[in-house]
């Protein structure tokens, strides 16, 4: 009988360990933009983020713009010209026509999505954007969430207008210096899905409403990128110029920092955020997923290759 | 004593204010109404429900099942694709008039997802281990209605699923009353087992759309769970179920796991003990059985399995199945229904022209099967249906195609010529079967 409590205890410990494993770990990084971020600039931020993620997560062989340039140049018949940028000597290899076709499809899909991102930001406030990597919207391998906070500041006349270049630079600096995505292991080729949260009555036609989706999917690792617009000192309690970023150590504490910040925010922001969380804002999904292409995927030698 | 006094006395006796109240209450019939919202509509479900209820109350009576695709209400025109009053005939009572104002209407509003199925890959494996649909899916639209069974298989399965959920909701102790959430459909090939599984998953997601925000169907690719590495196969099964577990963890989702041709995963262990079968196959069965026991604790999961070769399935698995439903080849009346729907479809597509009314079996029965101008063609079809008894559902659905391909020369064809062609096609089918047997 004396063994029973011991066994029960052991079982409990094991259960706790498995449930803890299931909890989704959230990695947050922040971009502070001290000024007015117009909707079209917000759209550009999302577009750059999408391009960056496709490259970073191994879904396209080189930076998107470069790839597009190469593709168009080849299509113009100047395939003989060599490219030496960034030491990408591998792209001199002859692409098979099927890969070439797939690259073309990818570029068409991405261009369509980029154009429609602009359209969404014109029509509605977009408090959140999701970029999912995985087969379907409910079972992604990775979730990247872009959260715009204090979007109401766009009506604040006292703020300085920020230019796209400036904002994107701040974003890239954060993504490269602060994001924990670099520690994650590489993904296999999969689909990239774009979802935006917009108003029910915004009249979006290209995006398809996904009313069954409530929040970010609980499956897969969640990377959140918070973009603070307007008075940064208001929302975070720390003064600083717009490009000043939190250092890496703060990254893991960012959730609690944000929590404190919320208490200090003015009423305008609070109402805006509660509106954005309300029932009137729903998720819209881009109708076509972006299918990753990796023409020169270096296949790791598997055990069967050695034994064959 | 006059009537008035009697009433008064009754009132005093039973303390009722109205004599009508003293009558036994007939329970309101519950009617399920499925409302398919347009894919691009963003309005609240509640407001759609209001409009549909008003529409149905205006309609007043439905005679059996009913499908509505055209609406006068501009709101419904904009936001609703179709409305269907369905499954009123499942209990076998046939068509009955339903008073829509009096019955209890259960409205299920849903939007179809038209995404391609996703592939679930396991680490280090090249082949996808499972395909993965978001339900309700556009791919499975209409399968449920196209399946014709004689006995009450469909209603049994629906009731089984609702009871499962009811027991989970009421927190019935699974140690006292145990149910395994496993359904096994078996029978000869081509009788609609796999289709029924898919349709059932779709149906449940629609019926339970208030409770679960979405559903998922995971079709396990059994062949991908066997590894070329000895002793790895059991682990692959484990990995697969870990992925499924991740999906089940989302309590807003109803997860249906479909294992087609389940005998490949649960081959009887007994037969492999003395044979040449490697012990790895035994490990797969063991892993599957323990994993099923693991996931049955969750209220939002259902495991649907099909098999052709029931003798080859491990007994421990068969024992775990709550429902072991045999699905046989369709009877003559089911054949008639299948042909009837096929010919209606051909008339809709204007391949058979001019369109003519074909009577259903019940109408023929009312007419006592007497041949006249109105019943002639329907009786001919009945004759063909009787002749086709023994053919599988899959064959029946392709025969209208074969009949056109082999015996019809004209386009469009008249119904009479087409029925002759169909009759010839049935004969040919039996002849081919005989030849196959002889060789």
At B284 the pLDDT is 86
Q: Is A305 a domain residue? A: no
In a domain, B180, yes or no: yes
Query: Does the pLDDT of residue A87 top 70, yes or no?
Result: no
Residue B194 lies inside a defined structural domain of this protein: yes
Judged by CB atoms closer than 8 Å, whether chains meet at A219 and B246 is answered as: yes
At A95, the pLDDT band (50, 70, 90 cuts) reads low
Q: Within a 10 A sphere around the Cβ of A246, how many other Cβ atoms?
A: 20
What does the block give as tokens for A190? 């999969």
Residue A2 lies in a domain: no
B360 & B311 share domain: no
- Domain boundary, last residue among B59, B79, B111: B111
Write out the residue range of the structural domain in which residue A152 sits.
24-77+91-294
**pLDDT(A18) > 60:** no
pLDDT-derived band of residue B406, with 50, 70 and 90 as boundaries?
A: very high
DSSP at B185? E
B338 lies in the same domain as B432: yes
- Encoded tokens for B212: 């679960």
Tally the domains of chain A.
1
B169 by Cβ neighbours in 10 Å (0-12 / 13-18 / 19+) ranks as exposed
The whole-number pLDDT of residue B324 equals 92
Q: Are residues B282 and B379 in the same domain?
A: no
Q: Would you say residue A258 has pLDDT above 60?
A: no
* A241 vs B393, higher pLDDT: B393
What value does the mean pLDDT take over residues B306-323? 89
Query: Do B132 and B238 fall within a single domain?
Result: yes
Could you give the CA distance from residue B329 to residue B331 in angstroms, rounded to a whole number? 7
Cβ distance A208 to B41 less than 8 Å, yes or no, reads no
Is B184 inside a domain boundary?
A: yes
Range of the domain at B259: 118-326
At A284, the pLDDT band (50, 70, 90 cuts) reads very high
Size of interface A-B (CB pairs under 8 A): 60
Burial class (CB in 10 A: 0-12, 13-18, 19+), B354: exposed
List residues in chain A touching B: CB distance below 8 A: 22, 134-139, 188, 191, 200-201, 205, 208-209, 211-214, 217-219, 279, 282, 302-304
Confidence band of A36 (pLDDT split at 50, 70, 90): confident
Average pLDDT of span B354-372: 84
Q: Are residues B306 and B339 in the same domain?
A: no
- CA contacts within 13 A on the Cβ side of B215: 29
User: Shortest CB distance from A218 goes to which of B41, B119, B249?
Assistant: B249
Q: Which residues are CB-neighbours of B415 under 8 A, at least 6 positions away?
A: B343, B347, B352, B356, B358, B377
For residue A300, pLDDT over 70 is answered with no
DSSP B222: G
| Residue pLDDT, tens place only, B126-153 | 778 888 898 899 999 989 988 888 768 8
Q: Do A209 and B41 touch (CB under 8 A)?
A: yes
In a domain, B262, yes or no: yes
On whether both B279 and B346 belong to a single domain, the answer is no
Q: Are residues B342 and B312 in the same domain?
A: no
The answer to the question of residue A3 being in a domain is no
Residue B14 lies in a domain: no
- B43 contact A CB<8A: yes
Percent over 70 (pLDDT), chain A? 67
Residue A19 lies inside a defined structural domain of this protein: no
What band does B185 get if pLDDT is binned at 50, 70 and 90?
A: very high
What pLDDT does A111 receive?
94
Q: Higher pLDDT residue, A115 or A22?
A: A115
Say yes or no: B246 and B280 in one domain: yes
Q: CB distance A135–B246 less than 8 Å?
A: no
Residues of chain A with Cβ-Cβ distance to B252 below 8 Å are 214
Interface contact A139-B124, CB threshold 8 A? no
CB pair distance less than 8 Å for B111 and A209: yes
| CATH code of the domain containing B178 | 3.40.50.300
Would A48 be classed as within a structural domain?
yes
Q: How far apart are CA B83 and CA B76, in angstroms?
A: 10
| Mean of pLDDT values over B398-417 | 90
Chain B residues whose beta carbon lies within 8 Å of the beta carbon of residue A218 = 249-250
Cβ contact, residue pair B250, A137, below 8 Å: no
* pLDDT attached to residue A231: 74
Instruction: Check pLDDT > 90 for residue B23.
Output: no
Same domain membership, residue B28 and residue B156: no
Q: Which of A138, A200, A208 sits opposite B253 (nearest CB)?
A: A138
Name the residue with higher pLDDT: A142 or B267: A142
Overall average pLDDT of the A9-24 stretch: 44
Lowest pLDDT segment from A19-28, B63-72, B272-281, B379-388: A19-28
Structural domain includes residue B37? yes
- Kindly give the residue spans of alpha helices, DSSP state H, lying in B85-192: 143-146, 153-169
Residue A57: inside a domain? yes
Residues B272 and B355 grouped into a single domain: no
Domain CATH number, residue A149: 3.30.900.20
Band of the pLDDT at A23, cuts 50, 70, 90?
A: low
CB contact under 8 A, A136 and B43: no
How many domains, chain B? 3
Q: What pLDDT does B258 receive? A: 95
- Domain boundary (B289, B310, B326) is at B326
| In a shared domain, residues B397 and B307 | no
Does any CB of chain A come closer than 8 Å to the CB of residue B412?
no
In a domain, residue B17? The reply is no
What's residue A159's pLDDT? Answer: 83
B365 and B315 in a single domain? The answer is no
Rounded to an integer, the average pLDDT of B165-178 is 88
3-state secondary structure of B385: helix
Task: Please judge whether B42 and A200 are an interchain contact, meaning their C-beta atoms are less than 8 angstroms apart.
Answer: yes
Residue B32 three-state SS: strand
Q: What is the pLDDT of residue B50?
A: 93
CB contact under 8 A, A214 and B252: yes
Model pLDDT, residue B356:
86
Indicate which of A136, A206, A219 best probes the interface with B, i.e. most B CBs within 10 Å of its own CB: A136
Cβ of B249 within 8 Å of Cβ of A22? The answer is yes
Which of B296, B326, B356 lies at the terminal end of a domain, its last residue?
B326
Q: pLDDT class for A273, splitting at 50, 70, 90?
A: low
Spell out the SS3 assignment of B35-53.
EEECCCCCCCHHHHHHHHH
Among A211, A219, A285, which would you mutate to test the B interface (most chain B Cβ atoms within 10 Å of its Cβ)?
A: A211
Please tell me which of the candidates A211, A214, A279 has its beta carbon nearest to residue B111: A211
Tell me the residue ranges of DSSP E strands in chain A: 26-32, 128-134, 140-149, 191-199, 208-210, 221-228, 281-285, 290-291
* Confidence class for position A266, pLDDT limits 50, 70, 90: very low
Q: How far is B232 from chain A (nearest CA, A)?
A: 13
Does residue B424 carry a pLDDT above 80?
A: yes
Inter-chain touch A212–B115, beta carbons under 8 Å = no
pLDDT confidence of A42, banded at 50, 70, 90?
A: very high
Q: Which residues of B touch A219 (CB under 8 A)?
A: 246-247, 249-250
Residue A139: per-residue pLDDT: 81
Query: Which chain A residue has its CA at the smallest distance from B245's CA?
Result: A22
Domain for residue A83, yes or no?
no
Q: Kindly report the average pLDDT of chain B as a whole number.
A: 86
**Residue A197 placed within a domain:** yes
Mutate to test the interface with B, among A120, A133, A138, A282 (most CBs of B within 10 A): A138
Average pLDDT, chain A: 74
Burial status of residue A253 (CB atoms within 10 A of its CB: 0-12, 13-18, 19 or more): exposed
Average pLDDT over residues B237-255: 89
SS3 label, residue B408: coil
């Amino acid at each position: 009988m004396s063994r029973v409590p011991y066994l029960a205890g052991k079982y409990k410990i094991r259960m706790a360990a498995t449930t803890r494993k299931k909890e989704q770990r959230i990695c947050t990084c922040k971009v502070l933009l001290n000024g007015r971020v117009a909707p079209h600039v917000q759209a550009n931020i999302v577009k750059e983020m999408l391009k960056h993620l496709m490259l970073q997560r191994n879904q396209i062989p080189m930076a998107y713009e470069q790839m597009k340039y190469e593709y168009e140049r080849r299509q113009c018949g100047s395939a003989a010209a060599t490219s030496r940028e960034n030491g990408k000597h591998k792209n001199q290899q002859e692409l098979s026509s099927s890969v070439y076709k797939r690259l073309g499809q990818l570029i068409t899909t991405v261009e369509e999505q980029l154009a429609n991102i602009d359209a969404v930001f014109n029509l509605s406030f977009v408090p959140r954007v999701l970029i999912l990597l995985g087969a379907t919207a409910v079972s992604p391998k990775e979730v990247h969430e872009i959260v715009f906070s204090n979007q109401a500041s766009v009506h604040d006349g006292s703020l300085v207008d920020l230019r796209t270049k400036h904002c994107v630079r701040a974003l890239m600096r954060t993504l490269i210096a602060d994001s924990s995505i670099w520690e994650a292991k590489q993904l296999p080729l999969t689909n990239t899905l774009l979802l935006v949260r917009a108003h029910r009555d915004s009249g979006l036609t290209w995006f398809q409403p996904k009313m069954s989706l409530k929040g970010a999917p609980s499956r897969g690792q969640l990377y959140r990128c918070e973009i603070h617009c307007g008075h940064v000192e208001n929302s975070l309690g720390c003064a600083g110029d717009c490009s000043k970023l939190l250092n890496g150590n703060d990254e893991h504490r960012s959730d609690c920092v944000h929590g404190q910040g919320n208490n200090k925010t003015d009423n305008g922001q609070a109402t805006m955020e509660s509106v954005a969380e309300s029932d009137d804002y729903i998720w819209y999904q881009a109708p076509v997923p972006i299918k990753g292409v990796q023409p020169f995927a270096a296949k790791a030698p598997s055990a069967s290759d050695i034994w064959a | 004593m006059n009537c008035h006094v009697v009433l008064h006395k009754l009132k005093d006796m039973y303390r009722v204010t109205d004599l009508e109240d003293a009558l036994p209450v007939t329970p309101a019939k519950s009617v399920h109404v499925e409302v398919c919202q347009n894919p691009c509509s963003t309005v609240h479900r509640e407001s759609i429900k209001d409009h549909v209820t008003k529409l149905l109350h205006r309609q007043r009576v439905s005679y059996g099942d009913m499908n509505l695709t055209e609406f006068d209400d501009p709101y419904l025109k904009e936001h609703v694709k179709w409305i269907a009053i369905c499954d009123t005939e499942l209990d076998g009572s046939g068509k009955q008039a339903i008073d829509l104002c009096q019955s209890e209407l259960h409205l299920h509003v849903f939007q179809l997802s038209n995404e391609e199925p996703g592939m679930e890959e396991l680490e280090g494996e090249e082949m996808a281990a499972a395909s993965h649909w978001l339900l309700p899916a556009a791919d499975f639209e209409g399968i449920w209605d196209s399946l014709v069974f004689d006995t009450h298989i469909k209603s049994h399965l629906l009731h089984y699923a609702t009871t499962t959920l009811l027991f989970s909701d009421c927190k019935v102790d699974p140690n006292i009353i145990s149910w395994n959430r496993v359904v096994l459909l078996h029978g000869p090939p081509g009788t609609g087992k796999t289709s029924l599984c898919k349709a059932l998953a779709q149906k449940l997601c629609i019926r339970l759309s208030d409770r679960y925000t979405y559903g998922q169907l995971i079709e396990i690719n059994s062949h991908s769970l066997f590894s070329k590495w000895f002793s790895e196969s059991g682990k692959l099964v484990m990995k697969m179920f870990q992925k499924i577990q991740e999906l089940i963890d989302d309590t807003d989702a109803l997860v249906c796991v479909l294992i087609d041709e389940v005998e490949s995963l649960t081959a009887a262990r007994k037969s492999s003990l003395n044979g040449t079968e490697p012990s790895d196959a035994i490990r797969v069965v063991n892993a599957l059985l323990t994993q099923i026991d693991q996931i049955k604790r969750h209220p939002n999961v259902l495991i649907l399995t099909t098999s052709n070769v029931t003798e080859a399935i491990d007994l421990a698995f068969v024992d775990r199945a709550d429902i072991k439903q045999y699905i046989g080849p369709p009877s003559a009346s089911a054949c008639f229904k299948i042909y009837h729907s096929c010919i209606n479809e051909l008339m809709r597509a204007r391949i058979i022209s001019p369109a003519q009314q074909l009577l259903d079996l019940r109408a023929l029965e009312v007419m006592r099967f007497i041949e006249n101008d109105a019943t002639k063609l329907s009786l001919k079809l009945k004759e063909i249906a009787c002749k086709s008894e023994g053919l599988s559902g899959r064959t029946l659905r392709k025969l209208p195609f074969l009949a056109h391909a082999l015996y019809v020369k004209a386009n469009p064809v008249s119904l009479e010529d087409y029925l002759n062609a169909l009759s010839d096609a049935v004969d040919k089918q039996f002849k081919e079967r005989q030849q196959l047997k002889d060789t």
